[in-house]
Amino acid sequence: MTAPLRGAMLRAPAIAILIVGAGWSLGGQALLGRIDPALSLPLLAMPMLALAFWQRHESAPIRWQTALLSLTCMAAAQALLAYFLAGSPGWPQLALMVGASALAAFAADRLVQWRPAFRLLPWLAAPLLVAGWFGVGHGLLAFLYRPAVAPAGSPAVTILTGLPLRWSGGSDMAAMIADGTQDDPALARIEAAGPVSLVDSLVEHVPPPGGALLVAHPRALAPRELIAIDTFVRGGGRAVILADALSAWPARHPLGDPRNPPVTSLLTPLLDHWDVVLGAASADEIAPQAADIGESRLRLFSAGRFVRLSQQCRAYAQHSILQCRVGTGEAWLVGDADLLFAPLWQPIIPGAGHLRQADTMEWLAAHLWPGAGQRMFHPLWIRRRAI
């Protein structure tokens, strides 16, 4: 083996390790609990510039062989990590990474091999390449991970809740009127996904035909309100019901003030009618817990567990979430209203939806509007069983 080839065999694994390590530490994989190969994309320019500078004196065939070997090592390492930690190699993200890495390697090589009259020009252009690649990379990921909204003409989702989703900012009516609605981030995200109707009575505001119902930890409901929920779902409706055994939603008013959210679920009569019993939440739970449903990850906090469920229900997340057939309809029951609490699902950088901590709002939108919540790329979450 010639010396240039031996050098290539040494450089390629080093660059592959640098790319995979950068994605894990700086790309957000470790912080978010994800193993998405695509999260390394914005960081590719720097290691490819390092490789191009490292072999700047080699011949073109050796440079391209080294780059190809680096891509092969990187793809193999990232695919194996994704498979063992997430149960899937993440082929779409991996294909994007290989193509983007090849492009970054070509751009870096051309820049390093550039010999302009002004010799400092490549050194000035290198930071621009790194910064530009970083910005474009994050912009591309934001587009690829962006969830679809409800199709035009979709019926409004009816929301009944005791959580302070609307008028959430002020301490009294005068302050709320002066400040505006100041909707909670959860409500703002739901409204961005599709049409919404926030009501205080289902008897007077029956969900429209084809619509869905979101019941999020409501205050005590009259029997006719509970009958309205049962009738809607049993007649073929779709519902997502959050019934928290021990809500940790922050109270904005003094203890005992009726404007605060209920401390525990008041939907026991409805759940009993569906042959479902919600048990108490764990008293020693001090951190959010991941709950995986298919490809989606939710984050729960002090969630109750359903200790009895009918034969028409299927349990997820250690019995904290149920999918139940009720008559000809379907209801998703979640033993946690804190699911909607913004710090549990918002991205670590405001506005960077591809760096989200959970799929909560995407999962919710998909169950409220057919066709909503879908996206080109799905986050590859590190499964709890693999940690």
- pLDDT tens across 190-201, in order? 999 999 999 999
Q: Tell me, yes or no, if the pTM score tops 0.75.
A: yes
Residues in contact with 108: Cβ distance below 8 Å, sequence separation at least 6, in sequence order: 45, 48, 49, 51, 52, 129
Q: How many CB atoms lie within 10 A of CB 364?
A: 28
Parallel, antiparallel, or unpaired: how do β-strands 329-334 and 238-242 relate? parallel
Closest CA to 241 of 280, 279, 222, 268: 268
In this prediction, residue 57 carries a pLDDT of 87
Closest CA to 353 of 150, 89, 148: 148
**What is the distance between the alpha carbons of residues 169 and 374, in angstroms, rounded to a whole number?**
31
Confidence of residue 167 (pLDDT cuts 50, 70, 90): low
Q: Does pLDDT of 252 surpass 80?
A: no
Closest CA to 159 of 187, 183, 181: 187
Kindly report, residue by residue over 319-355, the tens digit of the pLDDT. Answer: 999 999 999 999 999 999 989 999 999 998 888 999 9
**What is the distance between the alpha carbons of residues 126 and 314, in angstroms, rounded to a whole number?**
55
**What is the distance between the alpha carbons of residues 323 and 333, in angstroms, rounded to a whole number?**
6
Residues in contact with 307: Cβ distance below 8 Å, sequence separation at least 6, in sequence order: 277, 278, 279, 319
**What is the distance between the alpha carbons of residues 350 and 362, in angstroms, rounded to a whole number?**
17
The token duo for 237 is 């409706």
In this prediction, residue 122 carries a pLDDT of 87
Alpha-carbon dihedral sign for residues 223, 229, 232, 234: negative
**What is the distance between the alpha carbons of residues 48 and 160, in angstroms, rounded to a whole number?**
53
Q: Where are the domains of the chain?
A: 3-144, 157-373
Residue type at 138 in one-letter notation: H
β-sheet bridge partners, residue 280: none
Backbone angles phi and psi of 215, in degrees to 5: -110, 110
Backbone angles phi and psi of 114, in degrees to 5: -70, 135
User: Bigger pLDDT: 170 or 23?
Assistant: 23
Confidence of residue 387 (pLDDT cuts 50, 70, 90): very low
User: Bigger pLDDT: 271 or 9?
Assistant: 271
In this prediction, residue 384 carries a pLDDT of 67
The token duo for 117 is 């009259």
Pick the CATH number of 157-373 from 3.30.70, 1.10.10, 3.40.1000, 3.40.50: 3.40.50
Backbone angles phi and psi of 106, in degrees to 5: -65, -45
Q: Cβ distance 310 to 331 under 8 Å?
A: no
**Helix-then-strand count for the chain, H and E:** 11, 11
Mean pLDDT for the chain overall: 88
Kindly report, residue by residue over 240-249, the tens digit of the pLDDT. Answer: 999 988 777 7
In this prediction, residue 382 carries a pLDDT of 94
**What is the distance between the alpha carbons of residues 133 and 214, in angstroms, rounded to a whole number?**
41
Backbone angles phi and psi of 189, in degrees to 5: -70, -40
In this prediction, residue 29 carries a pLDDT of 93
**What is the distance between the alpha carbons of residues 299 and 292, in angstroms, rounded to a whole number?**
9
Kindly report, residue by residue over 215-227, the tens digit of the pLDDT. Answer: 999 988 999 999 9
Closest CA to 304 of 383, 368, 370, 241: 241
Side-chain-facing half-sphere of 130: CA atoms under 13 Å: 11
Q: Is 371 left (phi over 0), alpha (psi -120 to 50) or beta?
A: left
The token duo for 289 is 């817990």
Q: How many CB atoms lie within 10 A of CB 343?
A: 12
Q: What percent of the chain has pLDDT over 70?
A: 90
The DSSP element (H or E) to which 174 belongs, if any, is helix 173-179
Q: Does pLDDT of 381 surpass 60?
A: yes
Residue type at 256 in one-letter notation: G
Q: Cβ distance 343 to 357 under 8 Å?
A: no
